[in-house]
Structures are given as C-alpha cells and as structure tokens.
Structure 1
Amino acid sequence: MELLAIGEVAARSGLAHSALRHYEAEGLISAERTPGGARRYRRSVLRRLAFVRAAQNVGLSLPEIRAALASLPDGRTPSARDWERLSRDWRDRLDAQIAALEQLRDGLTSCIGCGCLSLGSCALSNPGDVAGREGPGARRLSPLLRRLPPAGRAALPAAPRAPEAGRR
C-alpha cells in the first residue's frame, strides 16, 4: 500500500497543509504516522478530499460531511454507487440554492440600478429602514444566501499566521 506525504496530498488535492491537518482533527480524513511522527496518507484520501470539497460547495457543514463520510465502507474504496447515494440528497438543497440565487440575480437590478447610496434612505427596497427592525444581516436575501459565519469567526478570511515552530 502506497502512502503519501502531506506535501504530496496537498499538491494533488490543492489544499493547504493546515487544511489537511484541520480535516484530520475534524475526523474527515486520517493519517498514519511514521516513527518520526510525520503524517502519511493512503491514496484513497484524495477521493475523500474531493468529496469534502464538493460537499462544502453544496453548503454542507463539516459535521454533516463527517456524518456522510462515516456512512462509507471501511473495508473497501467507496464505489460510484456509494458516492451517488450520498450526493442524491444534495439535489434538493442545490435546487433551493439555485432558486435563491436566481431570486437574488433578478432583484439586483431593481436595487443597485436605482442609484441611491443608502438602503437606510431607499424608498424602493427599504423605506424608513424597516429592515433594520427585522434583525441583523441582509434581511431581503433568501436565508440560504445570508448564512452567517460560525460564532467566533470573522466574515472575512483571517490574515495569514506565521508558521508554528516545528510544523511543516
């Protein structure tokens, strides 16, 4: 059985080393350790990582992805039928997201095209700032499109951190 170093998996998957370590900590993938403590991954991890990326693009959370991966067989490489079974349930979710995006697309020109500078004073979309009384966030967007970042995480990507000592 061929084992791949973390750098090889990162290069093949297009993911950063830190993402691989995070996915391992989350139980989405697993690695074996060399006597020196270096991570070594089975080649099949590449398929799991492709699945994780596809599931994230659908909007699944890491716990949802973990549950889906837990339903896969341990003793063999997942088949096309296994992947089809898992992704079948995503169709309704994707259809809802597509509908929400179409609604957003169709509504953008009426708001952005009006030329006003503030939704607080917009007589068309938000007269008297009534949306502000409805709660935080973009109230006119479909709930599918206004997901808030997880608690404690900024909406924008964090600045890169310096590597920790001893980590590669």
Structure 2
Amino acid sequence: MSESGEIAQELTIGELSARSGVPASALRFYERQGLITSRRTDGRQRRFHRSTLRRVAFIRASQSVGMPLSVIGGVLGFLPEGEPATREFWMNASVCWSREINARIEKMERMRDRFTDCIGCGCLSFEQCALVNPADTLAEHGPGPRRLLEP
C-alpha cells in the first residue's frame, strides 16, 4: 500500500516476490519465458502490474500438479496481460489441462502395463528380452524405451 492507503497498481520484483512467495530469480525466468511481463522504469527497474500476482499463483499451482511450462504458457495465452481471469479463461484452461492430463494418464497406463515385460529400451539385460525384443528389433523405431513412448 502507498502512504495514502491506496493499493499500488504496480509492484517491484521484490514486492512481487514477497507477496507471491516466489523467488525473484524464478520471476525473472517466468518473464524470459513470456509467462509474465513487466515494464521498465527510466532506471531500468522492473514494474509488474498487480494482476501479475494472480498469474504467478496460477503458474505455481499448475506446476504443483506437474503441468509443464509449455502447457501453462498456452493456457495463459488466453488471458490478456493485466486482465483478471474470466469464466471463459477457466473454460479454455480446463480444455487444455484435460488434454494434457489425459495424455499423461495414457502414458502412465502404458508404463504400468508394459514395464514388467519389456519397455523396449534395447538393453538386452533381461533374459526375456531375447523373447520379447530379439536382436533389439525395436531399435529400428528409434532410441529409448519405445514401448513406453509409443501407444
């Protein structure tokens, strides 16, 4: 708050860090990634619109459930900078999250169902690899655990 008791519409990076609980280094990273924006004063100091607090809270909440920054950024793309979240924003966010969550569930189910037999990594270390993946034939499909990566 200002000395007159009004709520400041802009925050320094230190104030944003203190209010959000997010280190200034993370805020600078979010800015470089385009998740939040600031304006610069004549002295090149960052000033964040107060609504950035909600964006940062959304980013942190999303990260806490495992959402990658690319998905978070896509969702934040629906929200104009400096604008509060609307019902339409949350509906769009829900659609994006649902796709990501469903893809993660499918990947985890593949892992659960295939991990004990063979993940197709080409290691040839299990006796049964000679039965499930003779001569490392899955190598033709690319590196890594092919049976987990592909549906």
> TM-score, normalising length from structure 1?
0.60
- For residues 5-154 of structure 1, the aligned pairs below 5 Å read 5-13=12-20, 15-53=22-60, 54=62, 57-59=66-68, 61=70, 65-74=72-81, 76-111=83-118, 119-121=123-125, 122-143=129-150
- 2 CA distance for matches of 1:43 and 1:75? 8
Shift of the alpha carbon at 1:104?
A: 0.4
Structure 1: state its 5+ residue gaps: 113-117, 145-168
- 2 CA distance for matches of 1:18 and 1:26? 12
Computing the radius of gyration from Cα coordinates, the structure with the larger value is 2
Shift of the alpha carbon at 1:130?
A: 1.3
Quote the RMSD (CA, aligned, Å): 3.3
**One-letter identity of the residue aligned with 2:78:** S
Shift of the alpha carbon at 1:89?
A: 3.3
1:75-125 deviation line (CA, Å, top 9, x unaligned): 63113442233222321331121021022023223349xxxxx72252244
C-alpha contact (below 8 Å) 2:78/2:89 kept by paired residues = no
C-alpha contact (below 8 Å) 1:119/1:125 kept by paired residues = no
**One-letter identity of the residue aligned with 1:58:** M
| SS of residue matched to 1:57 | coil
Structure 2: state its 5+ residue gaps: 1-7
